Structure 1
Amino acid sequence: VTPTRIGGDWYDGGQFREFYMHSWTAQTNTLKDSWSAASSAIGTCNATIDRLENSTLLSDAEKKQAVASIRGVRAFWIYVMMDNWGNIPLVTSYQDKELPSVKPRQEVFNWLIQEVNEIANNCPEASSDTYGKFTQGAAYTLLAKLLLNAEAWKVTYSGNAYQDCVAACEKVMGMGYILEPNWKTNFSLNNNTSREAIFAICFSDQDTENQNQMMNRTLHYADNLSENANYAAWNGICAQPEYVKLFINNFQDSDNTNKNSDPRLHKTFRIGERRNITTNEMLFTGQNNPLIYSVDVKIIDGTERDGTPWGDVVQEAGARCQKWDYAPGLTNAMGNHFHIFRLADVYLMKAEALLRSGNAGEATGLVNEVRKRAYENSADYQPISTATLENVLLERRLELAWEGWSRQDDIRFGVFEKGMWPDSNCNRKTDEYLKIYPISQDAWQTNQNIVQNPGYPSF
């Protein structure tokens, strides 16, 4: 969540309040930017495919593989748009210059299933040379995502979606990826070496345009002094309190003190006091409070905004992102890569699909493999006795925090309307139509063949 910090930082017209309260509109800036970014990426893929197909510089085999890989990237972005907006334009040719209308989610889903199946085996195999490209592993992971979410999207599939999801996951699991023995390898400064990564965004701290700026978005303005880093962060996003408490409340250590809870807790969240790395002096906020990141995030009485319960919180409120390592002396951007797909997710998708097909036995083993790796064989490792949808969702929360799957998981597991920040005093809207976003006003002004999604005011 991105709360409003005392004095109004991060209020930004209320767009983050809208996201938490599910009160977004066609004017919400983040939705406008997300639609534009995805549409632009699809257009770039179409242009690239057109150039590759007409290239005389590649052999037929090279061309076939390159085109398949870019078609995979295009399919990924179309999947992102379909997941978020449901009914979307489906533009698959660079030569098609007509303004498109929107296609029903069912039609887009059908196209994606056919497209991914068609390209999967023509994509490159995973290797150090193809890291960051859309490979066969990425194709089958995307196929598994499509099949696992089909029921939640209310689309029909010609086969058994859960059984075919299991088969797609097994394809990926047989391709040589491994669960890295050290969980943190996936988030280290050199996480391009991870053998768990299936599809990755490759960032560089030298890239001035495409940057991983997680540290700026989450850390307090003064926290650079704890890292000997030459930047002032923006003090934005933090974790919803009840999400963090999932790591604390659900497990006990072998001596029953609950001192450590899930071992991923402090590898995922930055909690507690921050000190100057050079002098060891306590850091302070702009209100002269000690910089001690709290798990709880409480609204300051009397700061409510725009006639809603949403108000300001103190600068130090909220657990911050600690999942990706921060480089000593970090300047403006992180060089860690972001793994869109990784093998632990595939294990948990397979477990879920098995459960939804009535096979709890094999699902239990898969969840425990992910859990055991997280504990690194310590005495405090606690396997689950029987997999259930509840503990699969919990394991997804623990394993995949900050990785962008919570919204999709919430919808699929039927908890989309339940926030995890009780002290916000903000009730979420729960109407069914909110499970897809409104198409932005800007998108319609560019293309008036677009029709707004059901439940939202027409353009």
Structure 2
Amino acid sequence: MKIKHFKILALLIPALALHACHADLDQEPIDPDSFTETNVFASTAEAKGALAKLYASLSLTGQEGPAGDADISGIDEGTSQYSRMLFSLNELTTDHAVVGWGDPGLPNLHAMNWGASNDFTTGMYYRLAQEVSFANSFIDNAGRLEGEEAEAFIAEARFLRAFAYYNLIDLFGNVPLVKEVTTSLPEQNTRTEIFEFVESELLEIQDQLLESGANEYGRVDRVAAWALLSKLYLNAEVWTGTEMYAESLEFSNKVINSSYSINTTDANGNGSAYDELFLADNDSNGAQDEFIFAINFDGINSRTYGGTTFLVHAAIGGSMKASDFGVNGGWGGLRTTKALVNKFDYAVTERDGDGDPIAWSDGRAMFYTDGQEFEINTIANTFTDGYAVTKFTNIDSEGNQGNDESGEYVDTDLPLIRLAEIYLNYAEVVARGEGGDVGTAVAYINELRERAFGDNSGNITAADLTLDFIEAERSRELYWEGQRRTDLIRFNDFTTANYLWPFKGGAKNGTAVEPFRELFPLPSNIISVNPNLTQNPGY
């Protein structure tokens, strides 16, 4: 059963943002009829409800759901959901996605010309600041409780705070480090200082978290700390200037040797087990064994216009039938560029009369091509320009629609970290010549490709294990899961002319942009209010 999110007091003093708020993005305590703070922490049983709020802050957007009592005002509530904004900032800015809608600030993301008042970069900063604030309040109040269960709860809250800071240093760089509830204007810390804090927190709590697989589905255990350390160290050279690939390898091995496993169950019998990861029953069909950290969604109990409800609805348009995806309609927005499609060129099994690919033997090539143009001539309001992506659905392994009979809200959970990514982390370190075993790395890659192909026809050899291959393989395995911008930066391909994709930099054939675009700006309203903060260069 999916963990339910409880309606509780939003124990909120937004430590990163309190003094920077004004009318267009106020955050303030809400839901006055909820538990008092004293009652919430009267026992571990009550505190578990407050802990649920920390998880819910990543999946939901307010107290009512899907809309009506938002945690963050001044931005469309559905848009403000964490994973929807992660998609906007880490996928829409890359070769993986375009969107046809004209919401203020949205077209600027793929064009890579956003400013410091962009609604989406600002909203993400506030969402992450709120998560830090919730976690700080929980850690402070739960400290009065005793026992191993309370210690584990606090460790989970510290993980979620570290995860928020992992996102903040990735997206924004130098941000305030706030570890307790305060009303003081925060000082700004360096990216390296934030990195070191995240590292130290994860190392300290790893043994306080429950053992591998011992927690409820949807809550983290110590393997999540190891996995986040693997990711943190993989990006250390970009974020701090110091390589830490050996450390990434160490924690990748710890994750790989844990109780988690690659899902190979092909319940719907289509020849590939890959799609099982993104079905409505991915909390029970075997996919959950691969999910180290996921956001839970349920069409009845956790409704939002973000999350996988967004990923399913927004990707349906043109001649696509919404009922095939278990929903009641399409929003006609999201497509992909030919740059992603071309990464599956080796697996093309059929082309149309124009020579464009329309079928593939690699089951990860989940594209809808009927009536869709391979080339994108116009992004805005033209859903048929660019192939559609069918990766996420609200259909379960038996072909049934998700729980919400109306088809409006989606059940599918969204993995934030899954074991396949850690396989790829290991293989990348090997390809960089920083340790590990080539044969082992090849075996990990082939395990993923055998799942995708349904046989060994797509297997690689040691000679194939290059950095260019790893970058492309990460794209093939992880597209639309919120990873791409971070990967492109690590491979020096995000802003440079080394790699161009359609409409990169606003040019039809793509163009390089200024390197300062590797970081998003701090919200302009925060900069204007807090004299302790310095804006990122270029903004």
Structure 2 length as normaliser, TM-score? 0.70
Q: Do the aligned partners of residues 384 and 21 (structure 1) sit closer, same or farther apart at CA in structure 2, a change above 3 Å counting? A: farther
Q: In 2, Cα distance between the equivalents of 1:385 and 1:187?
A: 30
- Residue 350 of structure 2 corresponds to residue 350 of structure 1: no
Counterpart of 1:318, as a letter, is G
Q: Which residue of 2 aligns with 1:263?
A: 362
Superposition pairs for residues 244-259 of structure 1, below 5 Å? 244-247=341-344, 249-251=345-347
Q: Find 1:435's aligned residue among 508, 513, 518.
A: 518
Q: Do the aligned partners of residues 191 and 128 (structure 1) sit closer, same or farther apart at CA in structure 2, a change above 3 Å counting? A: farther
Question: 1:251 Cα deviation (Å)?
Answer: 3.4
Q: Which residue of 2 aligns with 1:171?
A: 254
Superposition pairs for residues 323-402 of structure 1, below 5 Å? 323-327=391-395, 328=401, 331-359=407-435, 360-377=438-455, 380-386=457-463, 387-402=465-480
Q: Find 2:150's aligned residue among 59, 63, 69.
A: 63
Q: Which residue of 1 aligns with 2:134?
A: 44
Counterpart of 1:165, as a letter, is S
Query: SS of 2:106's equivalent?
Result: helix
Q: Find 1:127's aligned residue among 213, 233, 245.
A: 213
Query: SS of 2:283's equivalent?
Result: helix
Task: Write the deviation string for residues 394-418 of structure 1: whole angstroms up to 9, x where unpaired.
Answer: 1111111111110011001111123
- Residue 298 of structure 2 corresponds to residue 208 of structure 1: no
Q: In 2, Cα distance between the equivalents of 1:18 and 1:230?
A: 29
Task: Write the deviation string for residues 90-112 of structure 1: whole angstroms up to 9, x where unpaired.
Answer: 11112x22110221101111111
Q: Do the aligned partners of residues 123 and 316 (structure 1) sit closer, same or farther apart at CA in structure 2, a change above 3 Å counting? A: same
Q: Do the aligned partners of residues 376 and 225 (structure 1) sit closer, same or farther apart at CA in structure 2, a change above 3 Å counting? A: closer
Task: Write the deviation string for residues 372-403 of structure 1: whole angstroms up to 9, x where unpaired.
Answer: 2222225x333244211011111111111111
- Residue 235 of structure 2 corresponds to residue 149 of structure 1: yes
Q: Taking every aligned residue pair, what percent have the same amino acid on both sides?
A: 25
Question: 1:269 Cα deviation (Å)?
Answer: 2.5
Q: Assess if the C-alpha contact under 8 Å between 1:204 and 1:211 holds in 2.
A: no
Any stretches of 5+ residues in structure 1 without a counterpart?
A: 273-291, 300-310
Counterpart of 1:75, as a letter, is A
Question: 1:315 Cα deviation (Å)?
Answer: 3.1
Task: Write the deviation string for residues 321-357 of structure 1: whole angstroms up to 9, x where unpaired.
Answer: 3112223366212110001000000000011112223
Q: Do the aligned partners of residues 384 and 137 (structure 1) sit closer, same or farther apart at CA in structure 2, a change above 3 Å counting? A: same
Q: Assess if the C-alpha contact under 8 Å between 1:205 and 1:211 holds in 2.
A: no
Counterpart of 1:115, as a letter, is E
Any stretches of 5+ residues in structure 2 without a counterpart?
A: 1-91, 265-272, 396-400
Q: In 1, Cα distance between the equivalents of 2:390 and 2:149?
A: 41
Question: 1:37 Cα deviation (Å)?
Answer: 0.6
Query: SS of 2:294's equivalent?
Result: strand
Q: In 1, Cα distance between the equivalents of 2:362 and 2:478?
A: 14
Q: Which residue of 2 aligns with 1:306?
A: none
Q: Do the aligned partners of residues 180 and 12 (structure 1) sit closer, same or farther apart at CA in structure 2, a change above 3 Å counting? A: same
Q: Do the aligned partners of residues 221 and 98 (structure 1) sit closer, same or farther apart at CA in structure 2, a change above 3 Å counting? A: farther
Question: 1:358 Cα deviation (Å)?
Answer: 4.5
Task: Write the deviation string for residues 217-270 of structure 1: whole angstroms up to 9, x where unpaired.
Answer: 2212774554386633321121122111211x133669xx9884342245x333
Q: Find 2:375's aligned residue among 296, 315, 322.
A: 296
Query: When the two structures are aligned, how many residues end up with a matched partner?
Result: 409
Q: Which residue of 1 aligns with 2:120?
A: 30
Q: Do the aligned partners of residues 298 and 221 (structure 1) sit closer, same or farther apart at CA in structure 2, a change above 3 Å counting? A: closer
